Structure 1
Amino acid sequence: MLCERCGTRANADEQFCGDCGEYLDWDAARADEPAPPEPSEPPAAEEAADPEQPGPVAVQPAPVKPGEAVNRPTSPAPAASRPEETGASCRSCGTGNATHRRYCRRCGTELTAPAEPERTTWWGRLLAWWRARRTHPAGHRRRLTPRRWGRVVVVTLLIAAVVGVIAAFPGRPVVDWAVNSVMDRFSDRAPVVPVEVTASSVVGGFGADDAFDGVSNEYWAPDPASDGVGEWIEARFAEPVRLVDVLVSSGASRVQEDFLGQARPAGLEITFTDVEGETTVAEVSLQDSAEPQKFGFGVSDVVSVRFTITSMYGHEPGRHVAVGEVEFFTRA
């Protein structure tokens, strides 16, 4: 069969043209072939002129009846020759192909097209580069030459210089914050007792000292003439300290009945003042519970702390706001 597109001759077991990849429609080709001619009746043999005269007698073939097949000796058809399939196998179907073919004889896949490169992620390429960089032949021992030593020294000095600049100038607060945060997290705690306490106002028998005496049934209460919002209590320390945690116990007592008998602070504004007079303000919300509530801050060089009431639980006429206990902790 000849390819209809390029005219290349194809063998009977090839479904696609080896030169252009065109599909070979063998069924259509067989349908277009002319039908073989029907066998005709052979002519009758001539009778001898004189049957009594001796002579050679020719052997005539037997007459053939209409529709009967005629068996005649034929020469064997030459075997279909095709080149050995020594070329590359098809990457789609695995069929072997001859070396001269450009397309697979079974599925038509182009044999000469390069295979698509394997796609890898950027980290896969980086890992491959790193492995190749660190791969050395057997018996190789990497040594630091004077040139390599010089590079190591220069890189080390540059890193040290950068760290020093960051620690000394713009990055110093960040470095200090990171170091202090790590130390605050893993160090033990030690209590800090203020040397002086003051308050915006007090009610008889419930002074500012009662909020720092370590007793849960004594508390500080501001003047009941006010609604309690804006009232404050302040503690001062003998020397600057780093405050890590603050514990606040609200209410008049840890006994539930006494606890609910007075109003309790719901919100506090905490102001930390350091040795240079700069302040750090934090807003905290308290749960309406008699148990101590801990708040972590981590503020350095603190000399005083003020607690200002911003909201309350259970405020009614005749009741005053009760702050049971305040405790301070630093690193041990």
Structure 2
Amino acid sequence: MRECPACGASNEATDDFCWNCGSYLGWSEGSARGRGGSADATAEPERPEPAPEPTPRPAAAEEPTPEPEPAPAPERTSEPSSPAPPAPETPASPAAPAAPAAAETPVVPATPVAPATPAAPQPVKPAKAVAPRPVVRPLPAADEDTSGVPCPACATPNPAYRRFCRKCAAPLTPATARERLPWWRTVWPFRRRTRGGSGRLARLLVILAVVLALCAAGFLLLPAGRKLIEDTRDKLGTPKAVSPSRVAATAELPGHSARLTTDGLTNRYWAIPGKSAAVTYTFAKPFRFVDVIVTNGASKNAEDYGTQARALHLDMDVFAEDGKVQRKEIDLSDKPGPQPIVVGMSRVTSVRLTLSDPVGLSGGRHVALAEVEFFQRT
């Protein structure tokens, strides 16, 4: 097993690239066999060995005078000389002595020859080491795995667990292209990116529709928004009393005219002979009508309140400068004292009050209204 130096994954001994991250692992042991050569084909070239340094010779010593070499001795044959055949025996003669034996030739030993002086070494440039380049090796037929996943680049079979090809390191599972999103997923939120032009027209139409809806809503809701602003100003501001320039009633009793409702006194009142009557208040210039305070009955005092009849229902019609009329129905309480009523209408020019539903109308009594106070925004 071979360990990847980048991710630490375990790989087979014959793998050149990591199965997990595709990093190069280096040539395996069988690389040379796969390339059809020996290990010597990619081995690093041998460097020349440096020549041995010569032994320094002493400067003071003088070379001895060579002696004359002696004459070379006769060469000896490798085989010994065969002895001469024996002479036939002859009868010994007393007068003749025996012949002396043949003297052997002396062997002179060879003088040793002195070795030749070695030549001085010459400088040599060092060789430059060249790293072998990796060569894509063909896989042996024995290593082929026909049941594995074929590489999309080189069609080499690979085990199912590998992510990169063991021959060319190409990714075995390339990322597939994402499908186009439906238009409704590209409309909201607007920051979503469109893919492949999906939903561009629909998004544009939705944006235009939203803009038109906002414009229409602003146009239609403008009066409501303006009214909200005016009501807020009415609450934040301080109301100021305003008096009408003319008061006219449909019916009134002598000594109890309708103008008594605006004199600022609560012990005088407007009296009507029947069960219902109306009074109109006209103002000199338009104003912002904030609210009105109505004091019902003959007086705000409890002792005088029950001496006359009281109207429990009041219809108020507010007329604006542009001719717009705002009608408001008010139910009054049967008790003494002022009763405030919020109006909130701009550019008001006149107000008409109609009394109805009286109580205590018996024994010669008549319907009474003590005071009506109008307030404008400062």
Q: Given the two structures, how large is their TM-score scaled by the length of structure 2?
A: 0.43
TM-score (norm 1): 0.48
Report the structure, 1 or 2, having the larger helix content: 1
Larger radius of gyration: 2
